[in-house]
Amino acid sequence: MILDLSDLKEVGSQKNYVKEIEVSKIDYRHKEIKLKGPIKVNLDVLKTERSFVLKGDLECTLVLQCSRCLKYFDYMIEVEISDELNIEDIEDLHNINIFPHLVSDIILEIPIKPLHDENCKGLCPICGQNLNEGDCDCEVENIDPRLEKLKEFKQK
């Protein structure tokens, strides 16, 4: 998203941007995350003496993978944008790319362990059956932690 702020000369002058950015994916931890639909941005820019203050919000839908059952699911993100660009740091007032700022705002909202449903049962660790779709016949050992300690002790 490119801003042209060359016309904001007076301190206190403002500008509003409403934009839909079409991107199909963003990079996140050396992986790609797909997006469904555009990133919708509504942004107010205010000129101050030394900076431009950016305030607004953005909305987008990511396609995340469930950390338990590995299924892909849609995840809607709404973030408030609150940023400030120092005028000294801006090379070209006609051409300010704030897209990297928007991406880092989005990335902060991505859960570390996404779940397609908070009650997701995940996959059987033995046969890989998706336990949301039905049980398998594997015997999952439920080891009492106290017995486990005893077992370790005996092995020594």
- Terminal CA-CA length for the chain: 62
- CB count within 10 Å of CB 155 equals 6
In the block, tokens 């942004």 appear at 43
Query: Does residue 120 touch Zn ion according to CB under 5 A?
Result: yes
CA angle, 104 then 106 then 108, to 5°: 70
Q: Which stretch binds Zn ion (CB under 5 A): 42-50, 53-61, 105-113, 138-146?
A: 138-146
| Interacting residue with Zn ion among 127, 139, 141, 146 (CB under 5 A) | 127
Query: Does residue 43 touch Zn ion according to CB under 5 A?
Result: no
| Interacting residue with Zn ion among 21, 81, 103, 124 (CB under 5 A) | 124
CB 44 within 8 A of CB 37: no
In the block, tokens 């995350």 appear at 33
How many residues touch Zn ion (CB under 5 A)?
11
Binding to Zn ion (CB under 5 A) within 58-77 occurs at 66, 68-69
Calpha distance 44→42 (Å, rounded):
7
| Interacting residue with Zn ion among 11, 63, 76, 126 (CB under 5 A) | 126
CB of 90 to Zn ion, least distance (A): 44
In sequence order, the β-bridge partners of residue 74 are: 63
Output 42 or 65, the one with its CB closest to Zn ion: 65
Question: What does the binding site for Zn ion look like in residue numbers (CB under 5 A)?
Answer: 66, 68-69, 116, 120, 124, 126-127, 129, 136, 138
